[in-house]
A and B are shown apart, each in its own frame.
Chain A
Amino acid sequence: AQTVTQSQPEMSVQEAETVTLSCTYDTSESDYYLFWYKQPPSRQMILVIRQEAYKQQNATENRFSVNFQKAAKSFSLKISDSQLGDAAMYFCAYLRLLSGAGSYQLTFGKGTKLSVIP
């Protein structure tokens, strides 16, 4: 079974600074997808960024970028120029391609709580 590990339960960053959130995963599959989702307090889960395993180029979305190391099974999220609105729980998620039908289910890590200090 796939597992996703986020080793940092909590992180903090000064406003306008850069922070990196870590994620590792365990899988024997070669084709999969990785996501970072953001869940602000009492608000719904929002997709931050997505990475396809077959792509060597790291995904970037405005101030958010990833460092995808397939051999090391590592998928970290870098947030540049941190803003107060970035404060949230961040979840790393693995999207599994089940055999045959092209079905998917997300496996999430336990999350990292990011605080942004003004």
Chain B
Amino acid sequence: DTGVSQNPRHKITKRGQNVTFRCDPISEHNRLYWYRQTLGQGPEFLTYFQNEAQLEKSRLLSDRFSAERPKGSFSTLEIQRTEQGDSAMYLCASSLVLMLLPGTDTQYFGPGTRLTVL
């Protein structure tokens, strides 16, 4: 168990460019979450996947944001036409939820991708 990994760890881009982040969850975890954390704030929920299905999206996730988890393993988060307001730490978390045991969801976080939009 190597934990949740995220790549890249840092990304600097110019306004208007597209960026894509990758998250590799803990193996066999069936849920994957994306959060955004700005300076001095706690993380804010963006979206999550149960296996390959995207089940919930926050209002924070504008139409410039898209997330995928094509095979129910790793996930990508793409931001199109980046804006300076997109500068933040993007956190990924994963969990193993056993449907017959509700409440077993404990989310384990990756190190995050820090995005800076110039």
A-to-B contact residues, CB < 8 Å? 4, 33, 35, 37, 43-47, 50, 52, 91, 93, 95, 97-98, 101-111
Contacts and interface: CB of A to CB of B under 8 A. Distances in A.
A97 B105 CA distance: 10
Contacts of A106: 33, 35, 43, 45, 93, 107
A46 B93 CA distance: 11
B40 A105 contact: no
A50 B42 contact: no
Contacts, number: 64
A37 B112 CA distance: 15
Nearest to A107: B45
19 contacts: A35-B106, A44-B109, A44-B110, A44-B112, A45-B43, A45-B91, A47-B108, A93-B42, A103-B48, A104-B31, A104-B48, A104-B95, A105-B45, A105-B56, A106-B35, A106-B43, A108-B43, A110-B40, A111-B40
Residue among A44, A46, A52, A95 with the highest chain B CB neighbour number at 10 A: A44
Contacts of A102: 97, 99, 102
B41 interface: yes
Contact of B48 (A47, A50, A105, A108): A105
Main SS at interface, chain A: strand
Contacts of B109: 37, 44-46
Contacts of A110: 40-42
B3 to A, nearest CB: 8
Contact of A109 (B42, B48, B58, B112): B42
Contacts of B97: 102, 104
Given A105-B48, A105-B56, A47 B42 contact: no
A93 B106 CA distance: 11
A103 B110 contact: no
- Which 10 A-B pairs rank lowest in CB-CB distance, beginning with the nearest? A108-B42, A45-B109, A44-B111, A105-B45, A104-B105, A91-B42, A108-B43, A102-B102, A110-B42, A44-B109
Contacts of B91: 45
Given A44-B112, A102-B97, A95 B105 contact: yes
Given A44-B112, A47-B107, 11 more contacts: A33-B105, A35-B106, A47-B106, A52-B103, A91-B43, A98-B56, A103-B50, A105-B33, A105-B48, A110-B40, A111-B40
